[in-house]
Amino acid sequence: QQPVQSPQAVILREGEDAVINCSSSKALYSVHWYRQKHGEAPVFLMILLKGGEQKGHEKISASFNEKKQQSSLYLTASQLSYSGTYFCGTEIGGNTPLVFGKGTRLSVIA
Amino acid sequence: GAVVSQHPSWVICKSGTSVKIECRSLDFQATTMFWYRQFPKQSLMLMATSNEGSKATYEQGVEKDKFLINHASLTLSTLTVTSAHPEDSSFYICSARDSLPRLKETQYFGPGTRLLVL
């Protein structure tokens, strides 16, 4: 079942923050976050496996709620290089394929 | 990080011909590889799961006789688009999962193959 991502698109000025959400109607095994630039393959950002987990670094981090049904990606003090489409990919069990959300198109402008 | 390569990166072919795309894990072994297809401005849609030494598992709506998958070794999976038609034109991306238990959750994507069928 495809996870729901929101928002569909967001425009930021450099230095602004953004939050991208990914939710599922069922508890998940894991959530993976990727960024894809136009014409390129997705690039792995991070994976979350545990309920209540938060990981990442100061500028780009993510959380996974206790029920393991929702994850959020936090982009802080955005840079031009953050522009791209962000996808969350979810697994319902270990070693199962990722099912991707429809993506969130992020545009950072000067 | 782990590296996955795809070949070719671009292919243009005539309608009715077959095209083979290779996906290789360069510095790790992958018992499982996945094939995705992405149309412009859309998400990645899983086509099939490729398991080394066994038959691929296809997603609903994906024709197994049209999209032939062979996972002959722990580092190579191939996707053959048989009798390609213009509607098969897309961006095909493979991903591989490291066989090592501590890394198996992470999927690494190849750079993708753009197929244009004329």
Verify whether the Cβ–Cβ distance A95 to B107 is below 8 Å: no
Pull the structure tokens for residue B33.
């590889």
pLDDT tops 80 at residue B68: yes
What backbone phi and psi angles, to 5 degrees, belong to A102?
-75, -10
Tell me, what's the pLDDT at A8?
96
Sheet of strand B19-25, all strands in order from the earlier edge strand to the far edge: B4-7, B19-25, B76-81, B67-73
Q: Which residues does residue A33 pair with via DSSP β-bridges, in sequence order?
A: A46, A88
Interacting residues of B40 by C-beta distance below 8 A, sequence separation 6+: none
Report the gap between the CA of A8 and the closest CA in chain B (Å). 11
Does the beta-carbon distance from A42 to B32 stay under 8 Å? no
Q: What are the strands, taking DSSP E only, across chain A?
A: 4-6, 9-13, 18-23, 30-36, 43-48, 54-56, 60-64, 70-75, 84-91, 99-100, 104-109
How far does CA A25 lie from the centroid of its chain?
17
* The one-letter amino acid at B45: M
Q: Which of residues 13-32 of A touch B (CB under 8 A)?
A: 30, 32
pLDDT in tens, A10-64: 999 999 999 999 999 989 999 999 999 988 888 889 999 988 889 887 799 999 9
| Amino acid identity for residue A106 in this structure | L
